[in-house]
Structure 1
Amino acid sequence: MTTLRRILAFARPYRARLILAIGLTLVSTAIGLIVPLGLKELIDAVFTEKNAGLLDRLSLGLLGLFAIQALVGSFGRYFMEWTGERVVTDLRRRVYDHLHRLGLRYFSTTRTGEITSRLTNDVSSVQKTATDDLASALTLSLTLIGSLVLMVVLNWRLTLVILVTVPIMAIGTRYFGQVVRKLSREIQDKLADTTAIAEEAIAAIRVVKAFARERFETSRYGTAVESLFETARKRAVVVAAFWGGVGFMFFVALVVIFWFGGREVLADRLSAGDLVAFIVYALNIARTVSGASRLYASLNSAAGASERLFELLDMAPEIADAPGARPLAEPVRGEVAFEDVRFSYDDGRPVLDGVSLHVKPGETIALVGPSGAGKTTLLNLIPRFYDPDKGSIQIDGVDLREATVDSVREAVSLVAQDIELFGVSLAQNIRYGRLDATDDEIERAARAANAHEFIVEAAQGYQTEVGERGVKLSGGQRQRVAIARALLKDPPILLLDEATSALDAESEAAVQEALARLMEGRTTFVIAHRLATVRDADRILVMDAGQIIDEGTHDDLVARGGLYARLAALQFNDAVPLA
């Protein structure tokens, strides 16, 4: 019920339509309860009174009731469906919006397929609850109560005989619902696993084919779907056994009605019309109990999916605006300071250990050192992808935790080795840097990034689709599109994380030229393993084991010896610095 209340809370903005839908549904159900009484009168008119005129009038009256019921029921169903679809749309948007508020820590520990499953499969499960199940619950409740009342009116002794079966069904239904809920939650979890496996393999299809691992991946997916099938089979066994029991109880009750009701007719305590009406009401109750059992199973299935959704919605964003947070003052100069910053991921191992650093506006800082030294983590803290465990990071003297997240990220732009592009046009990918940019501004950014030439040679120029994650472009082309995007954003602080390490010499030269334009007048942090790309930086910071162990210009660091000098000796003995 807690889960159901949370789902229905999304219907509050549409309560007028929901109340109308409920009202029409109840009217339609009430008309259905009158019909057996009409049948009673009709049968008595034929078999008892032998009144042909009354038979005609009753038949026409029943037809009129059926027509009104159909019309009212259709409108009620429409408004109920509309409300349900609206609720599910709002829920889907709420979940997606909340996903974007969560920090990178969540996405680094949760598989993409799991996230996609919650957004699609789980929301679809909730959709049935918000539409069909709500209408069914109202209809079944009124039908059950109304039928019982009218059965008591017709013959209370026969009603007591029927009610003996109700506690048995209620106990069975409760146990059945608990088992189904547990299995349904397990099914949703395993469905998320299969989605994650498929999505990972498809995303890495080049690797799969390069290593000839198609059979391995199909086997891995097959194992997952077989596990899903086995859980679904268990649920099917429970459902089949339950419905077999319900069916048997129903037929037992029907035989009892015929036997006991027939004896009541023979004793003149019940007319033939009363018995027929009683049987129809009994069938209504049987249909209601059956429907209630299905509804209970459906609600428990939806509850399993809803729990997963609300677990996500209840997850507090790791990075959020503090109370009273203000945007960074414009214009942002680009002064960056780290004060005794310490940071670790979930395993608790320190990745940054007491880092202190002051960068003046417009200064270019290079970060070098072995893998795992903490270089990328240091960059990730500047746009508040994570917050430090201890210490503070400041931009223009303002602690990032006291500024709004949006203003911090608007002041920073990241160009990484692995460029993420969207499966839309080249122009739309560049415009992502500033959504209100004109076509002329996009072209100027592309020219500055050395991207205009290959763009105009593409099939549809700037409107050419790049494919999923930019798969139709080369590595150098993707980098230049990313640089154009950053140029269009025009941030005061620029982060370059191995932006040229995976490129051939020709592409690297074009990208380096574009990067030089991008870096002009900006505070820039550069990570590069190839020291030739950072030797002209204003300062080079040498990092190891999460600490800055040395800093200076290229010549100073080489002259002092140490880690940087050893790295430089290894690289420049057989490498030619780029012009």
Structure 2
Amino acid sequence: MKTNVLNQENTSQKSDAKTLWLAIRRIFRLSKPYRLKFYVATVLAVASSAVGLSVPLGLKALLDSVFQSADADLLNLIALILFGLFVGQAFLSFGSTYWLEWVGERVVTDLRKRLYEHLQRLGFRYFSDKRLGEITSRLTNDVGSVRTALTNALPQTITVTFSLLGSIALMIMLNWRLSLIVFLTVPVVTLLTRYFGGKIRKLSRDIQDDLADSTAVAEDALGAIRIVKAFAREVYEVGRYTESVENLFQTSRKKILLTSLFWSGISVMFMTTLVIIFWYGGLEVLAGRLTTGDLVAFIFYAFSISRSISQMSRLYTDINSAVGASDRIFELLDEIPEIQDSSDAIAIDQIEGRVEFRKVWFAYEKERPVLKDISLDILAGETVAVVGPSGAGKTTLINLIPRFFDPQKGNILIDGNDIRHIKKKSLREHIAIVPQDVHLFGTSIKENIRYGKLDAADDEIRRAAADANALEFIEQIPQGLDAKVGEKGVKLSGGQRQRLAIARALLKDPGILLLDEATSSLDSESEAQVQEALERLMQNRTTFIIAHRLSTVQHSDRIIVIEQGEIVQQGSHSELLTKGGLYKQLYEMQFREENVAR
């Protein structure tokens, strides 16, 4: 039984070591475009260490030759040489530090761009499963760990190893008996480093996770500050954030405790070793088997070995910390985009707008289909309203058209082409969405409208704003089109935000338009202005309208009624009222509610 436990521990240690090595290699590969600068910096660092190794030999010569022979000229020469060595070491150290820091910052910049580009390629499902704060934490906090590994841990491991081996070789050359005292401590330090390193790595990963959680909590609350204040939940949100940062503190405290225990143990061990060396070396000098210069040089090399092993131990824990954090980065980079272009995907220059659903099934989770066997044939230029109870699958249906998700069964065609065989970017260039909750970027009104067509001229933007019934209120704002809208458009009303979204869609000039409850949250006056703008936008375009208020879809060419993911009715407003069924029930219920409200 005991043997099995030992075998399991050995296997686990080998596995951890292999995983660590693979992670280090992957971090190092990030520096490939700047490998020459990295190598130059490392060579300069090794050269600086080599200069440092020669200093104790100079001190030995100073003590043994100069003081014994009382040669002042030799003293001046050795002092001058030592000064030159120190100056040379400073220059080498400067070059090494500069280029390593340069490579580190360059790699971090490239990595942030690569991560952000990868995030843009990921599908909606990934973002629905992850909190924004956690994603932001990976872009900011976790990326710094890679810089630590590249600029500190990896290069210093090389230079410290060189310094350690050099010191050992010179120490053995000076006195092999004293060297044995130092060597006895190495196995103990190695075992301690491996034991503590694995635990520190795990805690480092936990710290990054806790940091991401606290960032997510803060972003949740600050992003909904209006709701927080409206419900007087400031104290509650402070409590939530306090709890999350306290969890972070407790995890950090465990790491600090382990690290402190580790370094204290290493320090005591090496200080004891140095005392023994000093004592035993003094006996050797008294016995005539060692000169004073040899002992001083030996003590310097012992200090160098002590420092090198301590640094290697620290570097090992630093690398484990960096790897623990970088795991989260590579986990994100390894995330495969759910929606990808097929190898035979084509680009389309223009579309007529015919949309077909052929026996489409879709589920967010297995065994729980949201859409069931949907078949539709929408003609180019047709206006189709999709209505039904909440949770029926209306928004999911239109989200399949721009391939935000792919159905598990069935096909969706545009102008006879399966959308899986159309390049995503090309497909989405011909589709515009005006949602219920409009998102505006925290830039100017002009830049938010221009998002529909990035190379649009100012005249085009003004025309789109006018057609969206937005130009009048824009011109009443002091800075006009250049006015900042605030975070998520907080400086504008709901109706104003909707009209900017319509202007953005008009500027894009899409072949297919998706309107998702675009007027449901507006007052009567704003709704009238927005509805008028929408009618302009809908002209000569295939339009899908999701609407809760059935009074806004009565003039649609066709109304699709969905219940529990299935099409239960379709036809014009008058036809559906004549047939009876779910649509008539929904219409009459709303009609009664509106009369009561009046």
1:365 and 2:384 aligned: yes
Tell me what 1:392 maps to. Answer: 411
Alignment match of 2:173 (pick from 153, 164, 180): 153
Structure 1: gaps spanning 5 or more residues? none
Following the alignment from structure 2 to structure 1, what is the Cα–Cα distance between the partners of residues 329 and 99? Answer: 25
Tell me what 2:231 maps to. Answer: 211
Following the alignment from structure 1 to structure 2, what is the Cα–Cα distance between the partners of residues 21 and 308? Answer: 28
Tell me what 1:286 maps to. Answer: 306
Tell me what 1:409 maps to. Answer: 428
Tell me what 1:165 maps to. Answer: 185
1:275 and 2:334 aligned: no
Letter in 1 for 2:576: L
Is contact 1:85–1:130 with CA below 8 Å preserved after alignment?
Answer: no
Tell me what 1:521 maps to. Answer: 540
Tell me what 1:423 maps to. Answer: 442
Alignment match of 2:54 (pick from 11, 28, 34): 34
Is contact 2:369–2:565 with CA below 8 Å preserved after alignment?
Answer: yes
Following the alignment from structure 2 to structure 1, what is the Cα–Cα distance between the partners of residues 206 and 106? Answer: 28
Letter in 2 for 1:31: V
Is contact 1:92–1:123 with CA below 8 Å preserved after alignment?
Answer: yes
Tell me what 2:10 maps to. Answer: none
Tell me what 2:32 maps to. Answer: 12
Query: What is the DSSP-based 3-state SS (H/G/I as helix, E as strand, rest coil) of the residue aligned with 2:561?
Result: strand
Following the alignment from structure 1 to structure 2, what is the Cα–Cα distance between the partners of residues 318 and 547? Answer: 25
Alignment of 1:171-320 (within 5 A): 171-320=191-340
Alignment of 1:540-555 (within 5 A): 540-555=559-574
Tell me what 1:508 maps to. Answer: 527
TM superposition shift of 1:571:
2.2
Alignment match of 2:70 (pick from 33, 40, 50): 50
TM superposition shift of 1:421:
0.8
Following the alignment from structure 2 to structure 1, what is the Cα–Cα distance between the partners of residues 534 and 390? Answer: 23
User: Per-residue displacement from partner, 1:338-393 (whole Å, max 9, x unpaired)?
Assistant: 00000000354110000000111100000011001110000100000000010000
TM superposition shift of 1:45:
3.0
Following the alignment from structure 1 to structure 2, what is the Cα–Cα distance between the partners of residues 18 and 234? Answer: 34
TM superposition shift of 1:134:
2.4
Letter in 2 for 1:572: F
1:494 and 2:506 aligned: no
1:461 and 2:483 aligned: no
1:537 and 2:587 aligned: no
Following the alignment from structure 1 to structure 2, what is the Cα–Cα distance between the partners of residues 255 and 331? Answer: 83
TM superposition shift of 1:171:
0.4
User: Per-residue displacement from partner, 1:69-113 (whole Å, max 9, x unpaired)?
Assistant: 111210121111111111111111111111111110011111111
Following the alignment from structure 2 to structure 1, what is the Cα–Cα distance between the partners of residues 244 and 42? Answer: 42
User: Per-residue displacement from partner, 1:7-50 (whole Å, max 9, x unpaired)?
Assistant: 11111111121121122111111111111111111122343222
Query: What is the DSSP-based 3-state SS (H/G/I as helix, E as strand, rest coil) of the residue aligned with 1:186?
Result: helix
Query: What is the DSSP-based 3-state SS (H/G/I as helix, E as strand, rest coil) of the residue aligned with 1:494?
Result: strand
- Greater mean deviation of Cα atoms: 207-216 or 407-416: 207-216
Following the alignment from structure 1 to structure 2, what is the Cα–Cα distance between the partners of residues 72 and 574? Answer: 82
Tell me what 1:339 maps to. Answer: 358
TM superposition shift of 1:574:
5.7
Letter in 1 for 2:485: V
Alignment match of 1:476 (pick from 495, 501, 506): 495
TM superposition shift of 1:467:
0.8
Using structure 1 for the length normalisation, give the TM-score: 0.98
- Greater mean deviation of Cα atoms: 354-363 or 216-225: 216-225
Following the alignment from structure 2 to structure 1, what is the Cα–Cα distance between the partners of residues 529 and 76? Answer: 92
Following the alignment from structure 2 to structure 1, what is the Cα–Cα distance between the partners of residues 390 and 593? Answer: 21
Following the alignment from structure 1 to structure 2, what is the Cα–Cα distance between the partners of residues 185 and 346? Answer: 29
1:381 and 2:400 aligned: yes
Percent of aligned pairs with the same amino acid: 57
Query: What is the DSSP-based 3-state SS (H/G/I as helix, E as strand, rest coil) of the residue aligned with 1:232?
Result: helix
Following the alignment from structure 1 to structure 2, what is the Cα–Cα distance between the partners of residues 521 and 458? Answer: 32
Is contact 1:325–1:402 with CA below 8 Å preserved after alignment?
Answer: yes
Matched residue count: 575
User: Per-residue displacement from partner, 1:235-273 (whole Å, max 9, x unpaired)?
Assistant: 111111111111110111111111111122122222111
Tell me what 1:24 maps to. Answer: 44
Alignment of 1:427-438 (within 5 A): 427-438=446-457
Is contact 2:453–2:507 with CA below 8 Å preserved after alignment?
Answer: yes
1:443 and 2:462 aligned: yes
Alignment match of 2:80 (pick from 43, 48, 60): 60
Following the alignment from structure 2 to structure 1, what is the Cα–Cα distance between the partners of residues 218 and 593? Answer: 44
Using structure 2 for the length normalisation, give the TM-score: 0.95
Letter in 2 for 1:232: S
TM superposition shift of 1:51:
1.4
Following the alignment from structure 1 to structure 2, what is the Cα–Cα distance between the partners of residues 401 and 265? Answer: 84
Tell me what 2:16 maps to. Answer: none
Is contact 1:88–1:130 with CA below 8 Å preserved after alignment?
Answer: no
- Greater mean deviation of Cα atoms: 565-574 or 149-158: 565-574
Structure 2 CA distance for partners of 1:163 and 1:574, relative to 1, 3 Å: closer
Is contact 2:31–2:103 with CA below 8 Å preserved after alignment?
Answer: yes
Following the alignment from structure 1 to structure 2, what is the Cα–Cα distance between the partners of residues 175 and 80? Answer: 30
Following the alignment from structure 1 to structure 2, what is the Cα–Cα distance between the partners of residues 425 and 288? Answer: 56
Query: What is the DSSP-based 3-state SS (H/G/I as helix, E as strand, rest coil) of the residue aligned with 2:236?
Result: helix
Query: What is the DSSP-based 3-state SS (H/G/I as helix, E as strand, rest coil) of the residue aligned with 1:345?
Result: strand
